[in-house]
Chains A and B, each alone.
Chain A
Amino acid sequence: EAGVTQFPSHSVIEKGQTVTLRCDPISGHDNLYWYRRVMGKEIKFLLHFVKESKQDESGMPNNRFLAERTGGTYSTLKVQPAELEDSGVYFCASSQVGRPIGPFFGQGTRLTVV
Chain B
Amino acid sequence: AQSVSQHNHHVILSEAASLELGCNYSYGGTVNLFWYVQYPGQHLQLLLKYFSGDPLVKGIKGFEAEFIKSKFSFNLRKPSVQWSDTAEYFCAVNLDSNYQLIWGAGTKLIIKP
Contact between chains at B43 and A44 (CB < 8 Å): no
Contact between chains at B49 and A102 (CB < 8 Å): yes
B32 at the interface (CB under 8 A from A): yes
In the bound assembly, the distance between CA atoms of A83 and B104 in angstroms comes to: 25
B34 at the interface (CB under 8 A from A): yes
In the bound assembly, the distance between CA atoms of A32 and B37 in angstroms comes to: 20
A105 at the interface (CB under 8 A from B): yes
With A91-B44, A107-B42 known as contacts, the answer to whether A101 contacts B32 (CB < 8 A) is: yes
A76-109: which residues lie under 8 A (CB-CB) from chain B? 91, 93, 95, 100-108
Task: Tell me the minimal C-beta distance from B37 to chain A in angstroms.
Answer: 11
Which residues from chain A sit less than 8 Å from chain B, CB to CB? Answer: 3-4, 31, 33, 35, 41-45, 48, 55-56, 58-59, 91, 93, 95, 100-108
B side interface size, CB within 8 A = 24
When C-beta atoms are compared, the residue in chain B nearest to A97 turns out to be: B99
Task: Tell me the minimal C-beta distance from A56 to chain B in angstroms.
Answer: 6
In the bound assembly, the distance between CA atoms of A38 and B99 in angstroms comes to: 21
Contact between chains at B97 and A100 (CB < 8 Å): yes
Contact between chains at A106 and B43 (CB < 8 Å): yes
Contact between chains at A42 and B105 (CB < 8 Å): yes
Per a CB cutoff under 8 Å, which of A44, A55, A91 touches B99? Answer: A55
In the bound assembly, the distance between CA atoms of A3 and B42 in angstroms comes to: 12
Inside 8 A of A42's CB, which chain B residues have their CB? 4, 103-106
Contact between chains at B36 and A56 (CB < 8 Å): no
In the bound assembly, the distance between CA atoms of A100 and B32 in angstroms comes to: 9
Inside 8 A of A31's CB, which chain B residues have their CB? 99
Contact between chains at A102 and B104 (CB < 8 Å): no
B11 at the interface (CB under 8 A from A): no
Per a CB cutoff under 8 Å, which of B42, B44, B97, B105 touches A41? Answer: B105
B28-50: which residues lie under 8 A (CB-CB) from chain A? 32, 34, 36, 42-46, 49
